[in-house]
Amino acid sequence: MTHSLPNPMKPHLATLVGVRNLATGIKLFQVKIDDAEVMRRFDYTPGQFAEISAFGVGESPIGIASIRARSEAIEFAVNRVGTVTETLHRLDVGDKIGLRGPLGNGFPMEQFKGKNIVVLGGGIGGAPLRPVVQTILHNRSDYGKLSIFWAARTPDLLVFTDEYDEWRAAPNTELHLTVDKATPDWLHKEGLITTLVEEVAPSAENAISITCGPPIMIKFAMLSLQKLGFASEQNWVTLEAKMKCGIGKCGRCNIGDKFICLDGPIFRFDQVQQFLESFV
Amino acid sequence: MKVLTQAQLNEWLNHLAERFTLAAPVNVQGKLLYRQVDDSSGIAWGFERTDMSPKTWTFPATEPILIIEQGAETRLDDAPAPAPTVVFGVRPCDARGALAIDALFLDKEPSDGQYARHREATTLIGLACPQMWDSCFCTVVGGAPNSTEGLDLLLTEVDGSDGAAYAVQIISEKGEKLAAGMPGEEKGVSLPKPRLAKGLPTLPASQEWKAQFNETFWKQVTERCLGCRACTFVCPTCRCFDVRDEVVSRQPGRTVLQRLRAWDACTSAPYRRIAGGHNPRPTQHSRLRNRFYCKFMYYPDDFGPLGCVGCGRCIEACPVNIDILEVIAGVEQLAASGSS
């Protein structure tokens, strides 16, 4: 035991440098860590998350929604659903928050090089997938065809709508949109993301899929992908759980003997299938 | 081996109480708890198993882990360092419980800084059990009433010429340091053999537990669980925690907050429920099953030691008589019947 062990539960003090509405009940926060040296060294990969403090309330694990190559600040899309996120939504530019991270394993983007990539994002589940899309677009020739399936319950809940034109315009890239319940001005599909995926039927050959959404969506998305010939080893999912520490101590996010915060949140679906407990 | 009379031990403990925070079993309105004592007279001598484990001294039920000051500037500071503490009268099972928590909080990266400060500041003086009491099953999970594991010193009551006497085993460097200047006499003494419990089950290996995960047995055994969390709070190895902020003081232009961590329990319904309402462990049977699997499969597989030291407190504390020994025996039986 050494005396001067750092306290891994102590966050970095950080400042909100940008706040904007992303969708109904969802805001995008741009964050800079106050210590310039820590900020400079803050290196992360798509799929990793951070514990964000709303001082006086507590912490929540939030997926990082940006990549370093595109954004100087660290970005988080926050859905207002609980006490911490409710408090974060009341903050504005210049306000202080706490940040611990980056946490979790992240997507093996190197391993995905040369592959066709199918992305399935449901609602706020699109947030941790935006760094995947951005990484591919930023290094376009490293990856094969990119098929993005983006869904939400209603059109006003779709995230990153202002980036769709850029995604569509990128070479070898498709964007497919759907909502569970359309409004009169909705020009795209209405229905479940799984229906749309099966309709478009991206090829499983030399492909991988990446899914983030509510557990029920992951469950049915895996069945649809299976129908299209995707083996479990080709499907990647990012799971969420209630977490307190984010560093494998508090016990809260275990699924069987795995901790989502340490062993995940990114899993290949065949690993998830071997979990002792169901994740849904 | 050094042997102390009761009077010498009292004198030594009184001396320790001047230099350290001295904690020992105290009778608090009929409950035996590890509390700070001013001198040896406050100790509940002759105690058997305490109602709570001394875990409270190295992993307090609630403690600040961060101080947050909000004013013209925001400042984040570590919580105050724990005071140097000696816990006297630690039962061998509870010392092994501390080792189990060490395996996760210290040995598994990243180390938990706050817990490390507690462990470093704390010296554990054991008192060997002369026998296994009702519900005790340390021998099922690799322990013994006179085990030295995890202790700094172990005292064993021996027959003295004039009342009780204690033989002193020095286990660690920390213990050696503490024992320097201890009164008593060097004597050839043989330590009494503790009386062991009979008819206990044999603990199935972790792969046996794995094989029984989906058995209907779990629904039967956990049907009456109330989710009251008593079993986890009395447990010397349960270490799940919650984190939340609290206001310490609020003045114009300056607010002081503390971030607290507090014991939590996987057996409670809201433990896994996320904002928005989804609960991946929606039934009481899945929650209580997790507690047993954590102890007998996940903990040994992932961190080394078992997550149970056989203190038997959960058996005594359960208001609906769920008995971890019956659970162990049930899994043993399932494994033997080859339903795996």
For the cut 50, the answer to whether the pLDDT of residue B188 exceeds it is yes
In terms of Cα–Cα distance, which of A161, A109, A166, A165 is closest to A132? Answer: A109
Predicted confidence (pLDDT) per residue in B61-86, tens digit: 999 999 999 999 999 999 999 999 99
* pLDDT at residue A280 greater than cutoff 90: no
CATH homologous superfamily, domain A12-103: Translation factors (2.40.30.10)
Over 60: is that where the pLDDT of B50 sits? yes
Helices marked H in chain B — which ranges?
6-19, 55-58, 92-105, 113-121, 173-179, 206-211, 217-222, 230-234, 284-293, 299-303, 313-317, 324-336
Given a cut of 60, is residue A3 above it in pLDDT? no
Residues with Cβ within 8 Å of B150's Cβ and at least 6 positions away in sequence, in order, are B92, B95, B96, B97, B98, B99, B124
Residue A69's SS3 state is coil
Q: How far is B299 from chain A (nearest CA, A)?
A: 8
Into which CATH architecture does domain A116-238 fall?
3-Layer(aba) Sandwich (3.40)
Closest CB from B241, B245, B247 relative to A58: B245
**A-proximal residues of B, 165-204, CB under 8 Å:** none
Q: Is the pLDDT score of A139 beyond 50?
A: yes
- For residue B108, the distance in angstroms to the closest alpha carbon of chain A comes to 9
Q: Choose among A55, A60, A256: nearest Cβ to B257.
A: A55
Query: Residue B339: what pLDDT?
Result: 52
pLDDT of residue A2: 44
ipTM summary value: 0.91
CA distance A56 to chain B (A): 5
Q: Considering only alpha carbons, which residue of chain A is nearest residue B113? A: A7
The answer to whether B74 contacts A13, with C-beta atoms less than 8 Å apart, is yes
Q: Which of B200, B208, B198 is nearest to B336 (CA)?
A: B208
Of the pLDDT bands very low, low, confident and very high (cuts 50, 70, 90), residue B162 is confident
Mean pLDDT over the full length of chain A: 95
Domain borders along chain B are: 2-336
Residue B24 host element (H or E): strand B21-28
CATH 2.40.30.10 location in chain A: 12-103
Domain with CATH 3.40.50.80 in chain A: 116-238
Taking an 8 Å cut-off on Cβ atoms, the answer to whether A11 and B76 are in contact is: yes
Which residues of chain A neighbour B261 with C-beta distances below 8 Å?
9, 244
Of B99, B308, B93, B323, nearest in space to B206 by CA: B308
Residue B191 belongs to what H/E stretch? none
pLDDT recorded at residue B340: 46
Q: How many CB atoms within 10 Å of residue A141?
A: 8
In A, which residues are within 8 Å of B272 by CB distance? 241-242, 252
Q: Which one-letter DSSP state was computed for residue A236?
A: E
A95-99, A206-210, A238-242, B307-311: segment of lowest average pLDDT: A238-242
| 3 state SS of B160 | strand
The span from the CA of B314 to the CA of A233, in Å, is 42
